[in-house]
Structure 1
């Protein structure tokens, strides 16, 4: 399994003079949550880790090798990304979209095999969209599209899963189902690194957290050391009450603050 690390990484946020250099080590089996208010660079960080945009300084490392020294196909076999927003480039069915996940594993003119199709169909079933396999993606709801995007990542089967708001557009049942699925994949050795707006999803499912502050500062570590009310109140500029549910902390914003 591939490990992901950053060495003195500073992401490039327009209009921001500097930021905390990130020295992260994301190991197989870990589930990381990235928390912070709007505009702090969560999406930019994911795109930088995926190799889609260069950092301002520092490096992203895959198995101790600079990511920018590796071939794009090699990176795509190790790292996969679910975007927060997606545009339909051309008409495609749900199954055809899921099969895009197999492209890093195929040669230039190679067609998908029966095994590739079976992987895609299994992923669609796991995300509860198997019955939509022949529908055009453009006809789906936002939540259905989100589940197809995660199924596409599952079909790709990289070692490192980068997800930008994976529960976006999902109803409560499917939020829980997706978080449980990500946990199950982490238990097989995959590393999950995701941006979340829901603090309580992060508290319940993540074992490591990265907090990104508006001034460019950052801190990270094991979830139990990061889930400190004073730090989270500073992060969101919002007073919080903390209760315990099923042995895990649950954070509630105070009214009027």
Structure 2
């Protein structure tokens, strides 16, 4: 299973002069939530972990080796990224889009085989979009398109999930289904890192948290240590009330 480590990492957020050095171990089986207000650098952090954006300093290591020096096909076989927003450059059906997840495993000009198709169909069914397989993705609602994006990464079968707002556009039922899927991936040995705006989803589904502040400061650790009311109020600049529901803390903004 894959493991990501950040060594003396400073993410490069435009307009920010400096930032906290991040030395993190994102290990198999862990579910990390990344929290912070708009502009704090959550998406930048995730893209840096994926190797899509260079850090200001430091390195990301995949299984002990510098990510920037690894073959991109190998990286794509291990890292799956759910983007917050996406642009569909060409007309494609849901089935064709999900099959993109198998591309890291195919040699040039090789078509998908029966094994690839079985993985894809199982992923579409898991995300409740199998009935949309022949639809063009451009005709889908935002929530349907998000579930297709997650099904595409599920088809990819990565050992590390990097999910930027994975519950974006989703109704409550499908939010729960996605969080259950990510928990299952972690239980099976994958490392899961997700940027979230919903503090309550993070409190219920994550076991580690990284808090990113607008000024570049950061703190991290197990949820049991990070879900401290005054720290979260400082993070968001918002007073919060809290209660325990079904064994997990719930946070509500108050005036």
**Residues in 2 aligned to 1:190 and 1:64: alpha-carbon distance in whole angstroms:** 16
Q: Distance in 1 between matches of 2:153 and 2:202?
A: 20
Q: Which runs of 5+ in 1 are unaligned?
A: none
Correspondence list, 1:128-167, <5 A:
128-167=128-167
Aligned equivalents of 1:154, 1:3: Cα separation in 2: 18
* Residue correspondence of structure 1 range 173-252 to structure 2 within 5 A: 173-252=173-252
Counterpart mapping for 1:1-257 below 5 A: 1-254=1-254, 256=255
Give the CA deviation at 1:181: 1.0
* Cα RMSD, aligned residues only: 0.5
How far residue 53 of structure 1 moved from its aligned partner, in angstroms, is 1.0
Shift of 1:245: 0.4
Offset at residue 185 of structure 1 (A)? 1.3
Task: Encode CA deviations 1:22-53: one digit per residue, 9 max, x unaligned.
Answer: 11101111100000000011001111100011
CA distance in 2, matches of 1:105, 1:220: 34
Structure 1, residues 148-179: CA drift from partner, whole Å, max 9, x if none? 00000000011100000000000001001110
CA distance in 1: counterparts of 2:102 and 2:15, whole angstroms: 38
Q: Distance in 2 between matches of 1:215 and 1:149?
A: 32
**1:24 counterpart SS class:** strand
- Partners of 2:2 and 2:126 in 1: CA distance: 24
Task: Output the CA distance in 2 between the equivalents of 1:110 and 1:33.
Answer: 37
Shift in Å at residue 113 of structure 1? 0.5
TM normalised by structure 2 equals: 0.99
Task: Give the superposition deviation at 1:119.
Answer: 0.4
Instruction: Tell me the distance in 2 between the aligned counterparts of 1:108 and 1:53.
Output: 26
Moved over 4 A (4+): none
Distance 1:91 1:79 in 2: 25
Q: 1:114 offset after TM fit, Å? A: 1.1
